Structure 1
Amino acid sequence: MFQREGVDFVRVLGETTTMTSQALVAGAMDFSQINLVQLLAANTSGADLVVVGGDVMVPIYTLIVDPSIKSYAELKGKRLAVAGPTDPLNYVLVRMLEANGLKPGEYEFLGLGGTPNRVAGVQKGGVAGALVNQPSDFKALAAGMGQLGRSTDYVDNFQYTVTGARRDWVQKNKDLVVRFLRAYVRACEFFYNPRNKETVIRVLMERAKADREEAVKTYDLYMQTKKTIPQRGGIDLTGARAVAQNWKEFGLKREPPPVESVIDLSYLAEAQK
Protein backbone atom coordinates (compact mmCIF):
# COMPACT_ATOMS: atom_id res chain seq x y z
CA MET A 1 0.00 0.00 0.00
CA PHE A 2 2.82 2.39 0.80
CA GLN A 3 4.69 1.34 -2.33
CA ARG A 4 1.57 2.11 -4.37
CA GLU A 5 1.74 5.66 -3.01
CA GLY A 6 5.45 5.89 -3.78
CA VAL A 7 6.37 6.00 -0.10
CA ASP A 8 9.58 4.23 0.85
CA PHE A 9 10.50 4.18 4.52
CA VAL A 10 12.52 2.33 7.12
CA ARG A 11 10.58 1.16 10.17
CA VAL A 12 12.47 1.75 13.42
CA LEU A 13 11.29 0.51 16.82
CA GLY A 14 12.01 2.97 19.61
CA GLU A 15 13.38 1.47 22.80
CA THR A 16 11.29 3.78 24.98
CA THR A 17 8.58 6.35 24.29
CA THR A 18 10.85 9.14 25.55
CA MET A 19 13.63 8.13 23.17
CA THR A 20 11.12 8.01 20.31
CA SER A 21 9.94 11.57 20.94
CA GLN A 22 13.53 12.79 21.29
CA ALA A 23 14.46 11.21 17.95
CA LEU A 24 11.46 12.83 16.28
CA VAL A 25 12.27 16.27 17.68
CA ALA A 26 15.93 15.91 16.68
CA GLY A 27 15.03 15.04 13.09
CA ALA A 28 16.34 11.48 13.27
CA MET A 29 12.93 10.36 11.97
CA ASP A 30 10.18 12.09 10.01
CA PHE A 31 7.04 10.29 11.18
CA SER A 32 6.41 8.57 14.46
CA GLN A 33 3.58 6.58 15.92
CA ILE A 34 4.08 8.05 19.35
CA ASN A 35 2.01 8.17 22.49
CA LEU A 36 0.11 11.42 22.83
CA VAL A 37 1.47 12.18 26.29
CA GLN A 38 5.06 12.20 25.03
CA LEU A 39 4.10 14.46 22.14
CA LEU A 40 2.46 16.90 24.55
CA ALA A 41 5.46 16.68 26.88
CA ALA A 42 7.83 17.50 24.02
CA ASN A 43 5.77 20.54 23.05
CA THR A 44 5.67 21.86 26.61
CA SER A 45 9.48 21.72 26.48
CA GLY A 46 9.70 23.84 23.35
CA ALA A 47 9.19 21.40 20.48
CA ASP A 48 6.57 21.93 17.79
CA LEU A 49 5.21 18.48 17.00
CA VAL A 50 1.83 18.01 15.38
CA VAL A 51 -0.65 15.14 15.21
CA VAL A 52 -1.53 14.37 11.59
CA GLY A 53 -3.36 11.08 12.09
CA GLY A 54 -4.36 8.41 14.55
CA ASP A 55 -2.85 5.15 15.68
CA VAL A 56 -4.02 3.18 18.71
CA MET A 57 -7.20 4.62 20.21
CA VAL A 58 -8.37 2.57 23.20
CA PRO A 59 -5.46 0.27 24.04
CA ILE A 60 -6.23 -3.32 24.99
CA TYR A 61 -3.85 -4.44 27.71
CA THR A 62 -4.13 -7.38 30.08
CA LEU A 63 -2.95 -7.07 33.68
CA ILE A 64 -0.61 -10.06 33.78
CA VAL A 65 0.40 -11.14 37.28
CA ASP A 66 2.45 -13.73 39.09
CA PRO A 67 0.41 -16.96 39.12
CA SER A 68 0.24 -16.87 42.92
CA ILE A 69 -1.82 -13.65 42.82
CA LYS A 70 -5.56 -14.26 42.50
CA SER A 71 -7.05 -10.84 43.33
CA TYR A 72 -6.34 -7.12 43.16
CA ALA A 73 -6.20 -7.01 46.96
CA GLU A 74 -3.07 -9.16 46.83
CA LEU A 75 -1.28 -6.39 44.90
CA LYS A 76 -1.28 -4.16 47.98
CA GLY A 77 2.31 -3.33 48.91
CA LYS A 78 3.62 -4.88 45.69
CA ARG A 79 5.63 -3.45 42.80
CA LEU A 80 4.09 -3.25 39.32
CA ALA A 81 6.10 -2.82 36.14
CA VAL A 82 5.39 0.18 33.90
CA ALA A 83 7.17 1.55 30.85
CA GLY A 84 8.18 4.78 32.58
CA PRO A 85 6.95 7.58 34.85
CA THR A 86 4.97 9.45 32.16
CA ASP A 87 3.66 6.52 30.15
CA PRO A 88 -0.09 6.86 29.38
CA LEU A 89 -0.68 3.29 30.47
CA ASN A 90 0.00 4.40 34.04
CA TYR A 91 -3.27 6.32 33.91
CA VAL A 92 -5.04 3.18 32.72
CA LEU A 93 -3.43 0.99 35.37
CA VAL A 94 -4.31 3.44 38.16
CA ARG A 95 -7.95 3.37 37.02
CA MET A 96 -7.96 -0.42 37.13
CA LEU A 97 -6.43 -0.50 40.60
CA GLU A 98 -8.72 2.22 41.97
CA ALA A 99 -11.81 0.44 40.66
CA ASN A 100 -10.72 -2.59 42.66
CA GLY A 101 -10.03 -0.83 45.95
CA LEU A 102 -6.33 0.05 45.70
CA LYS A 103 -5.29 3.66 46.22
CA PRO A 104 -2.06 5.39 45.10
CA GLY A 105 0.58 4.76 47.72
CA GLU A 106 -0.61 1.22 48.35
CA TYR A 107 1.55 -0.08 45.50
CA GLU A 108 4.70 0.98 43.68
CA PHE A 109 5.37 1.51 39.98
CA LEU A 110 8.75 0.41 38.65
CA GLY A 111 9.82 1.64 35.20
CA LEU A 112 11.15 -1.27 33.15
CA GLY A 113 10.57 -0.10 29.57
CA GLY A 114 8.79 -2.02 26.82
CA THR A 115 6.53 -5.05 26.96
CA PRO A 116 9.30 -7.72 26.80
CA ASN A 117 11.03 -6.17 29.83
CA ARG A 118 7.80 -5.92 31.78
CA VAL A 119 6.87 -9.54 31.06
CA ALA A 120 10.36 -10.65 32.07
CA GLY A 121 10.01 -8.69 35.30
CA VAL A 122 6.89 -10.65 36.21
CA GLN A 123 8.42 -13.96 35.16
CA LYS A 124 11.53 -13.41 37.28
CA GLY A 125 9.57 -12.24 40.31
CA GLY A 126 10.96 -8.71 40.35
CA VAL A 127 7.45 -7.29 40.06
CA ALA A 128 4.01 -8.65 40.84
CA GLY A 129 2.33 -7.62 37.62
CA ALA A 130 2.32 -5.50 34.47
CA LEU A 131 0.03 -4.38 31.68
CA VAL A 132 0.82 -6.41 28.56
CA ASN A 133 -0.58 -6.10 25.05
CA GLN A 134 -1.28 -8.68 22.36
CA PRO A 135 -0.01 -11.20 21.52
CA SER A 136 2.44 -11.07 24.44
CA ASP A 137 -0.40 -11.44 26.95
CA PHE A 138 -1.58 -14.64 25.26
CA LYS A 139 1.99 -15.95 25.34
CA ALA A 140 2.30 -15.09 29.04
CA LEU A 141 -0.96 -16.82 29.91
CA ALA A 142 0.08 -19.91 27.95
CA ALA A 143 3.32 -19.91 29.96
CA GLY A 144 1.36 -20.13 33.21
CA MET A 145 1.05 -16.53 34.36
CA GLY A 146 -2.18 -15.19 35.83
CA GLN A 147 -4.40 -12.28 34.84
CA LEU A 148 -6.69 -9.90 36.71
CA GLY A 149 -8.48 -8.07 33.91
CA ARG A 150 -8.31 -6.02 30.74
CA SER A 151 -7.82 -2.28 30.40
CA THR A 152 -10.91 -1.87 28.22
CA ASP A 153 -13.10 -2.98 31.13
CA TYR A 154 -12.16 0.26 32.89
CA VAL A 155 -11.13 2.88 30.29
CA ASP A 156 -13.25 3.38 27.20
CA ASN A 157 -12.41 6.87 25.91
CA PHE A 158 -8.71 7.31 25.37
CA GLN A 159 -6.28 8.29 22.63
CA TYR A 160 -3.17 6.26 23.34
CA THR A 161 -0.88 6.80 20.36
CA VAL A 162 -0.97 9.07 17.32
CA THR A 163 0.88 9.63 14.08
CA GLY A 164 3.03 12.66 14.72
CA ALA A 165 5.70 14.72 12.99
CA ARG A 166 7.50 18.04 13.25
CA ARG A 167 5.16 20.82 12.14
CA ASP A 168 7.74 22.57 9.95
CA TRP A 169 8.61 19.29 8.20
CA VAL A 170 4.93 18.54 7.56
CA GLN A 171 4.35 21.97 6.04
CA LYS A 172 7.31 21.52 3.69
CA ASN A 173 6.32 17.98 2.65
CA LYS A 174 2.53 18.14 2.29
CA ASP A 175 2.35 15.81 -0.72
CA LEU A 176 4.44 13.12 1.00
CA VAL A 177 2.42 13.44 4.21
CA VAL A 178 -0.86 13.00 2.32
CA ARG A 179 0.47 9.98 0.42
CA PHE A 180 1.75 8.38 3.62
CA LEU A 181 -1.60 8.91 5.33
CA ARG A 182 -3.52 7.64 2.29
CA ALA A 183 -1.59 4.38 2.50
CA TYR A 184 -2.21 4.24 6.24
CA VAL A 185 -5.96 4.77 5.77
CA ARG A 186 -6.04 1.95 3.22
CA ALA A 187 -4.16 -0.31 5.63
CA CYS A 188 -6.72 0.36 8.37
CA GLU A 189 -9.58 -0.33 5.97
CA PHE A 190 -7.84 -3.50 4.79
CA PHE A 191 -7.62 -4.74 8.38
CA TYR A 192 -11.34 -4.36 9.00
CA ASN A 193 -12.43 -6.01 5.75
CA PRO A 194 -13.45 -9.58 6.74
CA ARG A 195 -12.27 -10.87 3.36
CA ASN A 196 -8.71 -10.08 4.42
CA LYS A 197 -8.80 -12.04 7.68
CA GLU A 198 -6.30 -14.72 6.67
CA THR A 199 -3.86 -12.17 5.27
CA VAL A 200 -4.07 -10.08 8.45
CA ILE A 201 -3.51 -13.16 10.61
CA ARG A 202 -0.49 -14.14 8.54
CA VAL A 203 0.99 -10.64 8.91
CA LEU A 204 0.38 -10.74 12.67
CA MET A 205 2.20 -14.05 12.85
CA GLU A 206 5.17 -12.64 10.94
CA ARG A 207 5.45 -9.19 12.53
CA ALA A 208 4.52 -10.09 16.11
CA LYS A 209 6.34 -13.45 16.11
CA ALA A 210 3.06 -15.09 17.13
CA ASP A 211 1.80 -18.58 16.47
CA ARG A 212 -1.48 -18.96 14.62
CA GLU A 213 -3.62 -19.35 17.75
CA GLU A 214 -2.19 -16.16 19.28
CA ALA A 215 -2.64 -14.25 16.03
CA VAL A 216 -6.25 -15.42 15.65
CA LYS A 217 -7.05 -14.41 19.24
CA THR A 218 -5.50 -10.98 18.65
CA TYR A 219 -7.42 -10.48 15.41
CA ASP A 220 -10.72 -11.55 16.97
CA LEU A 221 -10.19 -9.24 19.95
CA TYR A 222 -9.47 -6.22 17.75
CA MET A 223 -12.42 -6.96 15.49
CA GLN A 224 -14.68 -7.32 18.51
CA THR A 225 -13.80 -3.93 20.01
CA LYS A 226 -13.15 -1.99 16.77
CA LYS A 227 -11.56 0.71 18.91
CA THR A 228 -7.88 -0.14 18.90
CA ILE A 229 -7.02 0.38 15.23
CA PRO A 230 -8.72 3.48 13.79
CA GLN A 231 -11.10 2.44 11.03
CA ARG A 232 -10.07 5.29 8.72
CA GLY A 233 -6.86 6.46 10.33
CA GLY A 234 -8.52 9.07 12.54
CA ILE A 235 -8.34 9.93 16.21
CA ASP A 236 -10.80 10.08 19.09
CA LEU A 237 -10.94 13.78 19.95
CA THR A 238 -12.81 13.06 23.17
CA GLY A 239 -10.10 10.61 24.15
CA ALA A 240 -7.37 13.08 23.19
CA ARG A 241 -8.96 15.76 25.36
CA ALA A 242 -9.12 13.30 28.26
CA VAL A 243 -5.37 12.76 27.97
CA ALA A 244 -4.62 16.50 27.92
CA GLN A 245 -7.01 17.32 30.76
CA ASN A 246 -5.42 14.73 33.05
CA TRP A 247 -1.87 15.91 32.37
CA LYS A 248 -0.85 15.87 36.04
CA GLU A 249 -1.65 12.18 36.29
CA PHE A 250 0.79 11.48 33.47
CA GLY A 251 3.65 13.13 35.33
CA LEU A 252 3.92 16.17 33.07
CA LYS A 253 5.63 19.09 34.79
CA ARG A 254 3.64 21.80 33.03
CA GLU A 255 0.14 22.05 31.65
CA PRO A 256 0.19 21.29 27.92
CA PRO A 257 -1.38 23.58 25.34
CA PRO A 258 -4.99 22.87 24.31
CA VAL A 259 -4.95 19.53 22.54
CA GLU A 260 -6.64 21.03 19.48
CA SER A 261 -3.57 23.21 18.93
CA VAL A 262 -1.37 20.15 18.34
CA ILE A 263 -3.80 18.40 15.99
CA ASP A 264 -3.98 19.12 12.26
CA LEU A 265 -6.19 16.61 10.48
CA SER A 266 -6.33 18.52 7.19
CA TYR A 267 -3.75 16.17 5.67
CA LEU A 268 -5.74 13.14 6.79
CA ALA A 269 -8.93 14.62 5.35
CA GLU A 270 -7.17 14.97 2.00
CA ALA A 271 -5.90 11.40 2.24
CA GLN A 272 -9.39 10.05 2.98
CA LYS A 273 -10.90 11.48 -0.23
Structure 2
Amino acid sequence: MRDRAIFAAFFLFLLLGPFDALSQSYPTVYVGLVSITPSNTAVLAAAEGGFFKKHGLDVKPLILAGSSTALAAMLSGEVSLISIAGSGLINAHLAGGEVVMVAGMVNFAPYDLIVAKDIKKIEDLRGKKVGIARFGGSADFLARWGLEKNGLKPGRDVTILQTGGNPERLAAVSQGAIQATLLEQAFAHQAKKAGLRSLLDYSTAGLDYQHNGVGTTKSFIEKNRDLMNRFMKGLVEGIHRLRNDRAFGFKVLERHLRVSDSEVIQGAYDYYIP
Protein backbone atom coordinates (compact mmCIF):
# COMPACT_ATOMS: atom_id res chain seq x y z
CA MET A 1 0.00 0.00 0.00
CA ARG A 2 2.81 2.35 0.95
CA ASP A 3 4.58 1.58 -2.36
CA ARG A 4 1.39 2.38 -4.23
CA ALA A 5 1.10 5.72 -2.44
CA ILE A 6 4.70 6.61 -3.27
CA PHE A 7 4.17 5.60 -6.90
CA ALA A 8 0.95 7.66 -7.07
CA ALA A 9 2.70 10.69 -5.61
CA PHE A 10 5.60 10.29 -8.04
CA PHE A 11 3.19 9.91 -10.97
CA LEU A 12 1.32 13.03 -9.84
CA PHE A 13 4.63 14.94 -9.69
CA LEU A 14 5.47 13.85 -13.23
CA LEU A 15 2.00 14.78 -14.40
CA LEU A 16 1.84 18.21 -12.79
CA GLY A 17 5.49 19.16 -13.04
CA PRO A 18 5.52 19.95 -16.77
CA PHE A 19 2.29 21.94 -16.50
CA ASP A 20 3.77 23.97 -13.66
CA ALA A 21 6.87 24.63 -15.77
CA LEU A 22 4.74 25.63 -18.74
CA SER A 23 2.77 28.06 -16.62
CA GLN A 24 5.95 29.65 -15.28
CA SER A 25 6.08 33.36 -16.06
CA TYR A 26 9.43 34.77 -17.15
CA PRO A 27 10.54 38.26 -16.11
CA THR A 28 9.71 40.67 -18.94
CA VAL A 29 12.64 42.73 -20.19
CA TYR A 30 11.91 45.55 -22.61
CA VAL A 31 14.77 46.40 -24.98
CA GLY A 32 14.51 49.61 -26.97
CA LEU A 33 15.77 49.55 -30.55
CA VAL A 34 16.66 52.92 -32.04
CA SER A 35 15.35 51.99 -35.50
CA ILE A 36 14.68 49.19 -37.97
CA THR A 37 18.20 48.30 -39.05
CA PRO A 38 20.44 45.24 -39.50
CA SER A 39 22.53 46.59 -36.61
CA ASN A 40 19.85 45.21 -34.27
CA THR A 41 19.86 41.71 -35.76
CA ALA A 42 21.64 40.10 -32.80
CA VAL A 43 18.97 41.15 -30.29
CA LEU A 44 16.15 40.20 -32.64
CA ALA A 45 17.72 36.83 -33.45
CA ALA A 46 18.24 35.98 -29.79
CA ALA A 47 14.61 36.81 -29.07
CA GLU A 48 13.16 34.96 -32.07
CA GLY A 49 15.46 31.98 -31.64
CA GLY A 50 14.25 31.47 -28.07
CA PHE A 51 17.66 32.03 -26.50
CA PHE A 52 16.46 34.57 -23.96
CA LYS A 53 13.58 32.27 -22.99
CA LYS A 54 16.13 29.47 -22.61
CA HIS A 55 17.70 31.53 -19.84
CA GLY A 56 14.41 32.44 -18.22
CA LEU A 57 13.74 35.87 -19.73
CA ASP A 58 10.86 37.19 -21.81
CA VAL A 59 12.68 39.82 -23.86
CA LYS A 60 10.46 42.16 -25.85
CA PRO A 61 12.20 44.43 -28.41
CA LEU A 62 10.47 47.78 -28.96
CA ILE A 63 11.12 50.14 -31.87
CA LEU A 64 11.81 53.67 -30.62
CA ALA A 65 12.29 56.73 -32.82
CA GLY A 66 15.95 57.71 -32.55
CA SER A 67 18.68 57.60 -29.92
CA SER A 68 17.37 60.52 -27.84
CA THR A 69 13.96 58.85 -27.49
CA ALA A 70 15.57 55.52 -26.60
CA LEU A 71 17.82 57.11 -23.99
CA ALA A 72 14.92 58.99 -22.43
CA ALA A 73 12.91 55.77 -22.24
CA MET A 74 15.80 53.93 -20.57
CA LEU A 75 16.63 56.68 -18.08
CA SER A 76 12.96 56.93 -17.09
CA GLY A 77 12.71 53.16 -16.62
CA GLU A 78 10.26 52.53 -19.47
CA VAL A 79 12.76 50.10 -20.99
CA SER A 80 15.58 48.26 -19.21
CA LEU A 81 18.11 48.16 -22.04
CA ILE A 82 18.60 49.76 -25.43
CA SER A 83 20.42 48.85 -28.62
CA ILE A 84 22.19 52.08 -29.52
CA ALA A 85 25.35 53.47 -31.08
CA GLY A 86 28.22 54.42 -28.82
CA SER A 87 27.87 58.11 -29.70
CA GLY A 88 24.42 58.23 -28.11
CA LEU A 89 25.67 56.77 -24.84
CA ILE A 90 28.67 59.10 -24.81
CA ASN A 91 26.41 62.13 -25.17
CA ALA A 92 24.18 60.84 -22.37
CA HIS A 93 27.20 60.25 -20.12
CA LEU A 94 28.53 63.75 -20.79
CA ALA A 95 25.11 65.10 -19.83
CA GLY A 96 25.34 63.32 -16.46
CA GLY A 97 23.53 60.06 -17.22
CA GLU A 98 24.75 56.92 -15.43
CA VAL A 99 24.83 54.94 -18.67
CA VAL A 100 27.10 52.06 -19.68
CA MET A 101 27.55 49.81 -22.70
CA VAL A 102 27.65 46.11 -21.85
CA ALA A 103 28.05 44.61 -25.33
CA GLY A 104 29.33 45.83 -28.68
CA MET A 105 27.51 44.21 -31.60
CA VAL A 106 28.59 46.34 -34.59
CA ASN A 107 32.11 47.64 -34.08
CA PHE A 108 32.48 49.77 -37.20
CA ALA A 109 30.54 52.56 -38.95
CA PRO A 110 28.11 50.79 -41.34
CA TYR A 111 27.11 53.88 -43.32
CA ASP A 112 27.41 55.36 -46.79
CA LEU A 113 27.01 59.05 -47.56
CA ILE A 114 24.29 58.86 -50.21
CA VAL A 115 23.70 61.91 -52.40
CA ALA A 116 21.38 63.04 -55.18
CA LYS A 117 22.35 62.22 -58.75
CA ASP A 118 23.59 65.75 -59.51
CA ILE A 119 26.06 65.81 -56.58
CA LYS A 120 29.47 64.73 -57.87
CA LYS A 121 31.70 65.35 -54.84
CA ILE A 122 31.25 66.18 -51.16
CA GLU A 123 32.22 69.82 -51.75
CA ASP A 124 29.08 70.12 -53.93
CA LEU A 125 26.99 69.86 -50.76
CA ARG A 126 27.79 73.47 -49.86
CA GLY A 127 24.45 75.23 -49.40
CA LYS A 128 22.57 71.90 -49.46
CA LYS A 129 20.59 69.86 -46.93
CA VAL A 130 21.78 66.64 -45.27
CA GLY A 131 19.29 64.39 -43.50
CA ILE A 132 19.99 62.51 -40.27
CA ALA A 133 17.84 60.60 -37.78
CA ARG A 134 18.19 62.69 -34.61
CA PHE A 135 20.69 65.24 -33.36
CA GLY A 136 23.32 63.56 -31.22
CA GLY A 137 22.84 60.18 -32.85
CA SER A 138 25.20 58.09 -34.92
CA ALA A 139 24.19 59.49 -38.31
CA ASP A 140 24.53 63.04 -36.96
CA PHE A 141 28.02 62.44 -35.58
CA LEU A 142 29.24 60.72 -38.74
CA ALA A 143 27.68 63.28 -41.09
CA ARG A 144 29.48 66.09 -39.27
CA TRP A 145 32.76 64.14 -39.26
CA GLY A 146 32.55 63.48 -43.00
CA LEU A 147 31.64 67.07 -43.86
CA GLU A 148 34.35 68.61 -41.70
CA LYS A 149 36.94 66.19 -43.09
CA ASN A 150 36.14 67.63 -46.51
CA GLY A 151 36.26 71.29 -45.49
CA LEU A 152 32.56 71.95 -44.90
CA LYS A 153 31.27 73.34 -41.62
CA PRO A 154 27.88 71.93 -40.56
CA GLY A 155 25.40 74.68 -39.78
CA ARG A 156 27.30 77.24 -41.82
CA ASP A 157 28.03 75.54 -45.14
CA VAL A 158 25.53 72.69 -44.89
CA THR A 159 22.11 72.46 -43.22
CA ILE A 160 21.57 69.30 -41.17
CA LEU A 161 17.95 68.23 -40.76
CA GLN A 162 16.28 65.55 -38.66
CA THR A 163 14.37 63.46 -41.19
CA GLY A 164 13.72 60.11 -39.47
CA GLY A 165 15.05 56.58 -39.76
CA ASN A 166 16.74 54.88 -42.70
CA PRO A 167 13.52 54.36 -44.73
CA GLU A 168 12.43 57.97 -44.24
CA ARG A 169 15.86 59.34 -45.12
CA LEU A 170 16.03 57.20 -48.25
CA ALA A 171 12.62 58.51 -49.32
CA ALA A 172 13.64 62.11 -48.57
CA VAL A 173 16.81 62.02 -50.67
CA SER A 174 15.03 60.13 -53.47
CA GLN A 175 12.29 62.76 -53.62
CA GLY A 176 14.67 65.73 -53.46
CA ALA A 177 13.62 67.00 -50.03
CA ILE A 178 17.29 66.69 -49.02
CA GLN A 179 20.39 66.35 -51.16
CA ALA A 180 22.33 63.88 -49.02
CA THR A 181 21.96 61.51 -46.11
CA LEU A 182 23.71 58.69 -44.29
CA LEU A 183 22.20 55.26 -44.87
CA GLU A 184 23.10 51.92 -43.38
CA GLN A 185 24.31 49.24 -45.77
CA ALA A 186 21.01 47.59 -46.75
CA PHE A 187 19.35 50.94 -47.46
CA ALA A 188 22.45 52.31 -49.18
CA HIS A 189 22.31 49.28 -51.47
CA GLN A 190 18.73 50.12 -52.41
CA ALA A 191 19.68 53.76 -52.99
CA LYS A 192 22.50 52.84 -55.35
CA LYS A 193 20.23 50.47 -57.26
CA ALA A 194 17.86 53.42 -57.72
CA GLY A 195 20.64 55.52 -59.25
CA LEU A 196 21.75 57.58 -56.26
CA ARG A 197 25.46 57.99 -55.53
CA SER A 198 27.66 56.98 -52.61
CA LEU A 199 30.43 59.51 -52.01
CA LEU A 200 31.81 58.02 -48.80
CA ASP A 201 31.85 54.49 -47.38
CA TYR A 202 32.40 55.05 -43.68
CA SER A 203 33.26 51.40 -43.04
CA THR A 204 36.47 51.84 -45.07
CA ALA A 205 37.21 55.46 -44.12
CA GLY A 206 39.77 54.57 -41.44
CA LEU A 207 37.48 55.58 -38.59
CA ASP A 208 37.52 53.50 -35.40
CA TYR A 209 33.90 53.57 -34.37
CA GLN A 210 31.65 51.79 -31.90
CA HIS A 211 28.27 51.52 -33.55
CA ASN A 212 25.42 49.51 -32.07
CA GLY A 213 25.77 47.87 -28.71
CA VAL A 214 23.60 47.15 -25.69
CA GLY A 215 23.31 50.00 -23.24
CA THR A 216 21.76 50.24 -19.81
CA THR A 217 22.26 52.09 -16.53
CA LYS A 218 24.68 51.31 -13.72
CA SER A 219 21.84 51.11 -11.22
CA PHE A 220 19.95 48.56 -13.33
CA ILE A 221 23.03 46.32 -13.45
CA GLU A 222 23.63 46.63 -9.71
CA LYS A 223 20.03 45.66 -8.94
CA ASN A 224 19.72 42.94 -11.60
CA ARG A 225 23.07 41.17 -11.92
CA ASP A 226 21.58 37.72 -12.39
CA LEU A 227 19.16 39.00 -15.01
CA MET A 228 22.00 40.72 -16.87
CA ASN A 229 24.07 37.53 -16.84
CA ARG A 230 21.16 35.61 -18.32
CA PHE A 231 20.52 38.31 -20.91
CA MET A 232 24.14 38.25 -22.03
CA LYS A 233 24.12 34.45 -22.31
CA GLY A 234 21.03 34.60 -24.51
CA LEU A 235 22.53 37.35 -26.65
CA VAL A 236 25.79 35.48 -27.20
CA GLU A 237 23.94 32.30 -28.14
CA GLY A 238 21.78 34.29 -30.56
CA ILE A 239 24.92 35.70 -32.21
CA HIS A 240 26.38 32.19 -32.45
CA ARG A 241 23.20 30.96 -34.18
CA LEU A 242 23.33 33.90 -36.59
CA ARG A 243 26.93 33.18 -37.55
CA ASN A 244 26.34 29.49 -38.10
CA ASP A 245 22.87 29.43 -39.66
CA ARG A 246 22.59 31.68 -42.70
CA ALA A 247 19.01 30.64 -43.41
CA PHE A 248 17.98 31.70 -39.91
CA GLY A 249 19.83 35.00 -40.30
CA PHE A 250 18.19 35.67 -43.67
CA LYS A 251 14.77 34.98 -42.15
CA VAL A 252 15.31 37.43 -39.28
CA LEU A 253 16.64 40.15 -41.59
CA GLU A 254 13.84 39.72 -44.14
CA ARG A 255 11.13 39.89 -41.50
CA HIS A 256 12.39 43.01 -39.77
CA LEU A 257 13.76 44.94 -42.73
CA ARG A 258 10.53 44.15 -44.60
CA VAL A 259 12.60 43.58 -47.71
CA SER A 260 12.10 40.57 -49.98
CA ASP A 261 15.05 41.28 -52.30
CA SER A 262 17.37 38.31 -51.71
CA GLU A 263 20.37 40.33 -52.92
CA VAL A 264 19.73 42.99 -50.27
CA ILE A 265 19.26 40.39 -47.53
CA GLN A 266 22.39 38.44 -48.45
CA GLY A 267 24.40 41.65 -48.69
CA ALA A 268 23.22 42.77 -45.25
CA TYR A 269 24.05 39.39 -43.73
CA ASP A 270 27.57 39.28 -45.18
CA TYR A 271 28.21 42.89 -44.18
CA TYR A 272 27.01 42.78 -40.57
CA ILE A 273 27.56 39.17 -39.53
CA PRO A 274 31.18 38.11 -40.21
On whether the aligned pair clears a TM of 0.5, the verdict is: yes
**Alignment correspondent of 2:271:** 221
Q: Distance in 1 between matches of 2:83 and 2:248?
A: 23
Contact 2:104 2:211 (C-alpha < 8 Å) held by counterparts: no
Match of 2:193 among 108, 132, 142: 142
DSSP 3-state at the match of 2:59: coil
Q: Distance in 2 between matches of 1:170 and 1:136?
A: 35
Structure 2: gaps (5+ residues): 1-50
Q: How many residues align?
A: 222
Contact 2:83 2:215 (C-alpha < 8 Å) held by counterparts: yes
**Alignment correspondent of 1:113:** 164
DSSP 3-state at the match of 1:122: helix
**Alignment correspondent of 1:75:** 125
CA RMSD of aligned residues (A): 2.0
- Which structure is richer in relative contact order (CA contacts within 8 A, separation 6 or more)? 1
Match of 2:235 among 169, 181, 184: 184
Q: Distance in 1 between matches of 2:184 and 2:78?
A: 27
- 1:38-90 per-position Cα deviation (integer Å, ceiling 9, x unaligned): 32333344432222222322121111111222222321221111122212333
Superposition deviation, residue 98 in structure 1: 4.0
Superposition deviation, residue 92 in structure 1: 2.2
- 1:85-106 per-position Cα deviation (integer Å, ceiling 9, x unaligned): 2123333223333444544432
DSSP 3-state at the match of 1:11: strand
Match of 2:75 among 13, 16, 25: 25
Q: Distance in 2 between matches of 1:147 and 1:153?
A: 13
Is 1:60 the counterpart of 2:116 in the alignment? Answer: no
Q: Distance in 2 between matches of 1:62 and 1:43?
A: 27
Superposition deviation, residue 129 in structure 1: 0.7
Match of 2:251 among 199, 202, 217: 202
- 1:213-241 per-position Cα deviation (integer Å, ceiling 9, x unaligned): 10011122235xx4xxxxxxxxxxxxxxx
Considering fraction of residues, name the structure with more strand.
2
Match of 1:87 among 137, 145, 149: 137
Q: Which moved more, 1:41-50 or 1:175-184?
A: 41-50
AA matched with 2:158: Y
Q: Distance in 1 between matches of 2:150 and 2:211?
A: 23
Q: Distance in 2 between matches of 1:166 and 1:154?
A: 32
Considering fraction of residues, name the structure with more helix.
2
**Alignment correspondent of 1:49:** 99
Calculate the TM-score normalised by the size of structure 1.
Answer: 0.74
- Within 5 Å, give how 1:229-240 maps onto structure 2: none
Q: Distance in 2 between matches of 1:156 and 1:142?
A: 26
Superposition deviation, residue 117 in structure 1: 2.2
**Alignment correspondent of 2:40:** none
Superposition deviation, residue 5 in structure 1: 1.4
**Alignment correspondent of 1:126:** 177
Calculate the TM-score normalised by the size of structure 2.
Answer: 0.74
DSSP 3-state at the match of 2:167: helix
Q: Which moved more, 1:77-86 or 1:140-149?
A: 140-149
Percent identity reads 27
Give the 3 Å change call, closer, same or farther, for CA 203–171 of structure 1 in structure 2: same
